[in-house]
Amino acid sequence: MQFRGQSVKENIGTSILRVDSRKKIRGEAEYIADWKFDGMLYAKTVRSSKAKAAIISITLPEIPEGYAVIDHRDVPGVNRMRTVVSDHPIFAEKDVQYIGQPILLVVGPDRETLYDLAAQIDIQYREEPALFTLEEAEAHSRVFTDYHYKKADPEKYFHKAERIIEDTFSTGYQEHVYLEPQGMAAEFKGDTLFVYGSMQCPFYVKHALIETLAMPEDNVRVVQTVTGGAFGGKEEFPSLNGCQVAVAAHKTRRPVVMIYDRAEDILCSTKRHPAKIRYKAALDKNDTVVALDIDVLLNAGAYNGLSPVVLQRAIFSATNVYNIEHLNVRGRNFMTNTVPSGAYRGFGAPQTIFGIEMLFHTIALKLGLDPLEYKMRHLLKQGDPTCTGGRVHETVKMPEIIQAAVERSGYYDKLRTNKKFQGIGIALFLHGCGFTGKGESQIRGKIVLQKCRDRVILKVSSVEMGQGAETVLRKIVANTLDLPIANVLCEKIDTGLIPDSGPTVASRTTMIVGGLLHDAALEMRARWDEGTQFEVSKIYEHPDYLSWDDETFRGDAYPVHSWGANVAEVEIDPVSYELTVKRITAVYDVGVPIDERALIGQMQGGIVQGVGWATVELMESEGGKLKQGNLTDYKIPTSMDVPDIACYFISNPYEFGPFGAKCAGELPFVGAPPAVAAAVSNAMGCAIRDLPITPEKLMETGHDH
């Protein structure tokens, strides 16, 4: 079978075989756990067993020859993981703030001996009073970040409102469960440090290493290995375990490899932020929402890390696809003595979009109105102001999207004929493409295209982590240059060989990095005959009609949005209250699909992850300890749980996206949970205010009814 590139521009969406799949099917792709280094040592982390405590003493057993203990005193540079807020210690110093916090590493050649040694290390603590829940943190005002923005004159409209409706919604933790657990390795070759591993953002890791190891930039190289899923979980976290193995390699001068098992991964890796969102809606005499007061609370865990930017996306997505004239929005990240929350597909938006979708749904039912018609009254149109006072610059095809979703699913027929315990629900949603606010103009992603006779090498830092980036980016270049895809190759992801095109996050790869590659390929096509070897490079420039003020949060938070509507159909067992999601009809505007099969793969995977978060994926923390510490207790959807999924795409080219493409990867996650919640609400005749929707919760609400 040949990998073939299409040569006709109009056919960009026609699927090709993924360039990385054969190796993976044959079991020949080498993930970090499959790597071997000469003379390598394994690492085992010793972690805090207390939620908040001072470390009084650490007593080590006798450490045999060839083994070593690494702690904060071995860090040559800054003992903090560099990220948005660089507050997480690489190794704990005098105190610990959550159960699972890394204190030290034991390294050595034999894993069993390591585990024995680690178990013999005796740490004495003096426990201190800790805060665990959002409620406790709010009561004690343990706030990391407090953001606020306003639009027009909400006070006035609350004052003259016909009716004020208040409601509160909440969502729980979610574990990424990338199937490949976190793993990093480090070695020195001469003076140069090489760090290898499973990651989304090689340059984040590189910058973290430069600070923690106090090394010159030129002597640090980060190499991504085949990455077995990430979903945000390998955005900031690899900077932490990457620095730890690097410090160990620095001290021992041997290669050090650290692979987590699942229980350790769940214990200490970041999770989706648990959230609570309070709304106060002012309705005018036509029952239209004219003003909203929104209060978003996120549980950031023990360190703030990149939670501030998660909070930003949460509050800038808070009005979803609706045009609300007057707004008062507050967002706070709270500190609790729990494992830090972090990046996870959707990045704060799934929480607030679930909230507002259920708010509109609930208000409509309260008023005796059809939820979909009620939502449609408030829809954003092209040219409307966004919640932050920017503009909706793009054509908004929501009416077509909604119509397609309604027709394809038979929404209204089923709404009429469904019996009790059967439900159908619809959710509308959007996702802001690329980084929030000034992000893209600050990062200014760079790419290089290199011509080598009849081949072209593309050099980017966007990684393949399962989402299909390599196929999609190569395809964009191949199609533009009219070359077979086999002649367009990606440079290995090694920070020594590639420019920084930014991290692989925020659904920015296809639109931003792919856009740069498309521009470069167009230039290369025009100059093709100039020589057998030359390079074209590009740096991202934000379209100049966009404006953003980071102080006031005014302007275009995102250059453009992708849009969608999902219809979910559910059934609930009347005895056990077990919930089955039967079918999802999904309609999306992602601009123009670059590869339909790859895109549908993203959509289906995102939907199922979203359905998981909304239904079976229950993770609770009690006294700072996670009650679901492994995959036996923390359930994710299996093949038995997946609904029938039908995906449709409405074409809506974006002028700055390659072939018109916008963002896609996070969008499906955002849409499925509120659709499922609306369907459950329809089936049970009650409001759904809390995710996940477990049988226990349904039983309570069902009995209330």
| Least distance in angstroms from the C-beta of 173 to other proteins | 16
Q: Which amino acid, one-letter code, is at 668? A: P
Q: Give 599's DSSP letter.
A: H
Interactions with ligand FES, residue window 202-231 (CB under 6 A)? 229
> What, of other proteins, ligand FES, none, does residue 20 touch, CB below 5 to 8 Å by kind?
other proteins
Q: Which amino acid, one-letter code, is at 553? A: F
Q: What is the spatial distance between Cα 184 and Cα 257, in angstroms, rounded to a whole number? A: 6
Q: What is the spatial distance between Cα 413 and Cα 418, in angstroms, rounded to a whole number? A: 8
Number of amino acids touching ligand FES (CB under 6 A): 3
| Least distance in angstroms from the C-beta of 466 to ligand FES | 5
Among 27, 129, 190, 531, binds other proteins (CB under 8 A): 27
Q: What is the spatial distance between Cα 263 and Cα 412, in angstroms, rounded to a whole number? A: 45
Q: Report if residue 15 touches other proteins, rule: CB under 8 A.
A: yes
Q: Report if residue 702 touches ligand FES, rule: CB under 6 A.
A: no
First to last CA, the chain: 58
Structure tokens at 258: 């650290």
Q: What is the spatial distance between Cα 518 and Cα 589, in angstroms, rounded to a whole number? A: 20
Q: Report if residue 601 touches ligand FES, rule: CB under 6 A.
A: no
Q: Report if residue 665 touches ligand FES, rule: CB under 6 A.
A: no
Q: Report if residue 29 touches other proteins, rule: CB under 8 A.
A: yes
User: Which span sits near other proteins by CB under 8 A: 99-107, 120-128, 308-316, 607-615?
Assistant: 607-615
Structure tokens at 654: 């974006």
Q: What is the spatial distance between Cα 321 and Cα 377, in angstroms, rounded to a whole number? A: 11
Structure tokens at 23: 């190796």
- Judged by beta carbon, residue 97 or residue 609, the one nearer ligand FES is 609
Among 141, 395, 638, 651, binds other proteins (CB under 8 A): 638
Q: Report if residue 231 touches other proteins, rule: CB under 8 A.
A: yes
Interactions with other proteins, residue window 641-680 (CB under 8 A)? 642, 645
Q: Report if residue 539 touches ligand FES, rule: CB under 6 A.
A: no
Q: Report if residue 385 touches ligand FES, rule: CB under 6 A.
A: no
- Judged by beta carbon, residue 130 or residue 230, the one nearer other proteins is 230
User: Which span sits near other proteins by CB under 8 A: 176-184, 322-330, 494-502, 517-525?
Assistant: 176-184
Structure tokens at 45: 């982390």
Among 54, 56, 139, 179, binds ligand FES (CB under 6 A): 179
Does residue 378 contact residue 396 with C-beta atoms inside 8 Å? Answer: no
Location of structure tokens 């593309």:
458
| Least distance in angstroms from the C-beta of 252 to other proteins | 21
Residue 307's contacts (CB-CB under 8 Å, 6 or more residues apart) are 84, 85, 144, 145, 273, 298, 300, 301, 333, 340, 341, 342
Q: What sign does the dihedral 677-683-687-692 (CA atoms) show?
A: negative
Does residue 131 contact residue 337 with C-beta atoms inside 8 Å? Answer: yes
Distances (CA, A) of 437 to 304, 443, 546, 555, 563: 19, 11, 10, 8, 19
> What, of ligand FES, other proteins, none, does residue 261 touch, CB below 5 to 8 Å by kind?
other proteins
Among 416, 531, 640, 703, binds other proteins (CB under 8 A): 640
Among 172, 466, 499, 660, binds ligand FES (CB under 6 A): 466
Q: What is the spatial distance between Cα 398 and Cα 4, in angstroms, rounded to a whole number? A: 35
> What, of ligand FES, other proteins, none, does residue 31 touch, CB below 5 to 8 Å by kind?
other proteins
Tell me which residue of 289, 280, 283 sits closest to 377, measured CA to CA.
Answer: 289
Among 146, 162, 217, 261, binds other proteins (CB under 8 A): 261
Q: What sign does the dihedral 143-145-151-152 (CA atoms) show?
A: positive
| Least distance in angstroms from the C-beta of 261 to ligand FES | 9
Q: How many residues make up the chain in this entry?
A: 705
Interactions with other proteins, residue window 416-475 (CB under 8 A)? 465-468
- Judged by beta carbon, residue 215 or residue 599, the one nearer ligand FES is 599
| Least distance in angstroms from the C-beta of 271 to other proteins | 14
Q: Report if residue 181 touches other proteins, rule: CB under 8 A.
A: yes
* Ramachandran category for residue 434: left, alpha or beta (phi over 0 → left; psi -120 to 50 → alpha): left
Q: Report if residue 31 touches other proteins, rule: CB under 8 A.
A: yes
- Judged by beta carbon, residue 261 or residue 573, the one nearer other proteins is 261
> What, of ligand FES, other proteins, none, does residue 604 touch, CB below 5 to 8 Å by kind?
other proteins
User: Which span sits near other proteins by CB under 8 A: 410-418, 422-430, 511-519, 598-606?
Assistant: 598-606
Task: Classify strands 220-224 and 192-197 as parallel, antiparallel or unpaired.
Answer: parallel
| Least distance in angstroms from the C-beta of 36 to other proteins | 9
CA atoms within 13 A on the CB side of 211: 16
User: Which span sits near other proteins by CB under 8 A: 210-218, 258-266, 565-573, 691-699?
Assistant: 258-266
Residue nearest to ligand FES (CB): 179
| Least distance in angstroms from the C-beta of 122 to other proteins | 26
Tell me which residue of 654, 521, 516 sits closest to 592, measured CA to CA.
Answer: 654
- Coil/strand/helix, residue 435: coil
Q: What sign does the dihedral 298-301-302-304 (CA atoms) show?
A: negative
Q: Report if residue 643 touches ligand FES, rule: CB under 6 A.
A: no
- Coil/strand/helix, residue 416: helix
- Judged by beta carbon, residue 20 or residue 93, the one nearer ligand FES is 20
Q: Which helix (H) or strand (E) holds 539?
A: strand 533-539
Structure tokens at 252: 């021992």
Q: Give 395's DSSP letter.
A: P
- Judged by beta carbon, residue 220 or residue 226, the one nearer other proteins is 226
Q: What is the spatial distance between Cα 194 and Cα 645, in angstroms, rounded to a whole number? A: 43
Binding mask 525-554 for other proteins (x = CB under 8 A): ------------------------------
Among 61, 484, 601, 702, binds other proteins (CB under 8 A): 601
Among 4, 9, 21, 627, binds other proteins (CB under 8 A): 21
Q: What is the spatial distance between Cα 568 and Cα 644, in angstroms, rounded to a whole number? A: 10
Q: What residue spans of 535-631 are helical by DSSP H?
A: 596-614
| Contact residues: ligand FES, CB under 6 A | 179, 229, 466
| Contact residues: other proteins, CB under 8 A | 1, 15, 17-18, 20-31, 33-34, 176-181, 226-231, 261-263, 465-468, 597-598, 600-601, 604-609, 630-632, 636-640, 642, 645
